[in-house]
Amino acid sequence: MIPPRSTPPPSLPPPGVEKMRAEGLSAWFGQKRALKDITLPLVEHKVTAVIGPSGCGKSTFIRCLNRMHEVVPGARSEGQVLLDGASIFGREVDPVRVRRRVGMVFQKPNPFPAMSVRDNVLAGLRLSGITPPDPNRLAEEVLRQAALWDDVKDALDLPGGALSGGQQQRLCIARCLALEPEVVLMDEPCSSLDPVATAKIEDLIHELRERYTIVIVTHSMQQAARVSDYTAFFYVGELVEYDEADVIFTKPSDPRTEDYITGRFG
């Protein structure tokens, strides 16, 4: 058993603009505490990876960032999450608006099976009651951004479930991008995909960084090392270490981080 730290881990002042920030964030499922006092900055136009063994709270953490944590029955949180300096938990803040600014891609590709590929891309807008002026152009533009256009340009009317797993996941990314979010949260987006599809998504993440701020949860350390600028290591609900990815993977300062990235546990 590793003794709990007495002081929160230092969060470096990152070079660049801070897009989001968790401040003393804790989360519970009923009586069970899943996150303990997390303070973590998320830098604009950078990829921040959250790594750690299963059950360390990394998914719970990113679900707090777009208020998806609170939709689980019995779940609650304390502390602050700031988006452009303003709290997303304020009384006057509508979670629906937060989720439009902070999009999310899930572990398992979840396109809407009853909708065509095109309708899936536009689903976010339609579900918000918005009819885009030129839906076909928007769909093409977003599918290109998600590096899926060439795969599906002749299959726009097929149901979303007819695509391969990797294509479905890129469709979900496109669906998220269609809402023009500022931050994109990805919860183990490649864990159900084969290596080729994984490589495509990783390339995509590299490109998307220019337009979006990205937070990716992964339990693959290689993936975190490949795609991220900053890496945060979580362990049993605590943030153990946060630093530039190079530093985390070459000279981590906490022995627990070192044990994890060298494969001694987790």
Partner 1 sequence: MRAELDAAYSGRTLAARAATAASCVAVAIAMVPLLAILLYVAQRGLGALSWSFFTRLPNPVGESGGGMANAIVGTLELVGLASLMGIPVGIAAGLFLAEYRTTMLTRVVRFSADVLAGVPSIIVGVVVYATVVVRMQHFSTLAGALALAVLMLPLVARTTDELARTVPDSLREAALALGASRWRIAIHVVLRTAGPGIRAGCMLAVARVCGETAPLLFTAFNNRFWNESLGDPTSSLQVQIFTYTMSPYDDWHAQAWAAALVLVAIVVVLNLAARRVLRGPKAA
Site residues, partner 1 (CB under 8 A): 66, 68, 71, 73, 96-97, 99-100, 103-104, 106, 108, 110-115, 123-124, 126-129, 158-159, 162, 172, 175-176, 179
To partner 1, the closest distance from the beta carbon of 99 in angstroms equals 4
Give 162 or 247: the residue with its C-beta nearer to partner 1.
162
Chain-centroid distance of CA 164 in Å reads 22
Give 40 or 104: the residue with its C-beta nearer to partner 1.
104
Between the two ends of the chain, the Cα-to-Cα distance in Å is 14
Q: How far apart are CA 257 and CA 265, in angstroms?
A: 10
Residue 47, Cβ density class (10 Å: 0-12 exposed, 13-18 middle, ≥19 buried) = buried
Here the tokens at position 53 are 């063994």
Q: Which of 201, 21, 199 is nearest to 106 (CA)?
A: 201
Cβ atoms of 103 and 127 closer than 8 Å = no
Give 55 or 159: the residue with its C-beta nearer to partner 1.
159
Give 173 or 205: the residue with its C-beta nearer to partner 1.
173
To partner 1, the closest distance from the beta carbon of 158 in angstroms equals 8
Q: How far apart are CA 76 and CA 156, in angstroms?
A: 40
In angstroms, what CA-CA distances link 106 with 167, 191, 217, 250, 259? 14, 10, 10, 29, 28
To partner 1, the closest distance from the beta carbon of 73 in angstroms equals 6
To partner 1, the closest distance from the beta carbon of 180 in angstroms equals 11
Q: How far apart are CA 109 and CA 221, in angstroms?
A: 21
To partner 1, the closest distance from the beta carbon of 84 in angstroms equals 17
Give 5 or 29: the residue with its C-beta nearer to partner 1.
29
Give 37 or 182: the residue with its C-beta nearer to partner 1.
182
C-alpha R_g of the chain: 18
To partner 1, the closest distance from the beta carbon of 56 in angstroms equals 21
